[in-house]
Amino acid sequence: AQSVAQPEDQVNVAEGNPLTVKCTYSVSGNPYLFWYVQYPNRGLQFLLKYITGDNLVKGSYGFEAEFNKSQTSFHLKKPSALVSDSALYFCAVRDITGANNLFFGTGTRLTVIP
């Protein structure tokens, strides 16, 4: 069975500092991993995905994620946080048995402090 875990409910970071939002996964087979962001009362926006290839994946709004097979992790990163990055972040893994279904983590609320 596929699953993802986001161990931190809340992450606080000062504006201008690097940020990391953690995600670990459990899959049988090759992992297909995704990151989404959700602003208040809005739908989720796709940030980036890992399918295969380079372990460092670059996405929207300056975000990137590092795939680490040995640690089964897919942490989201950004070199310099903006106040506007404050939002809810979801990691997801593709369900290999369903119609392109995704299993989502419970989300991490990122707050960037001015």
> Three-state SS for 85?
helix
Tell which one of 19, 85, 107, 110 touches another protein (CB under 8 A). 107
Tell which one of 3, 17, 26, 45 touches another protein (CB under 8 A). 45
User: Is the CB of 91 or the CB of 112 nearer to another protein?
Assistant: 91
Question: Rule CB under 8 A: is residue 15 a binding residue for another protein?
Answer: no
Tell which one of 43, 54, 70, 97 touches another protein (CB under 8 A). 43
CA gap 79, 24 in Å, rounded: 20
Strand partners, 112: 13
Tell which one of 19, 91, 93, 102 touches another protein (CB under 8 A). 102
> Three-state SS for 18?
coil
# residues contacting another protein (CB under 8 A): 23
What Cα–Cα distance (Å) separates residue 86 from each residue in 37, 58, 59, 77, 107? 9, 19, 17, 13, 13
Question: Rule CB under 8 A: is residue 42 a binding residue for another protein?
Answer: yes
For residue 110, give both structure tokens: 């990122």
Length of the chain (residues): 114
Footprint on this chain of another protein (rule: CB under 8 A) = 32, 34, 36, 41-46, 49, 51, 88, 90, 94, 98-102, 104-107
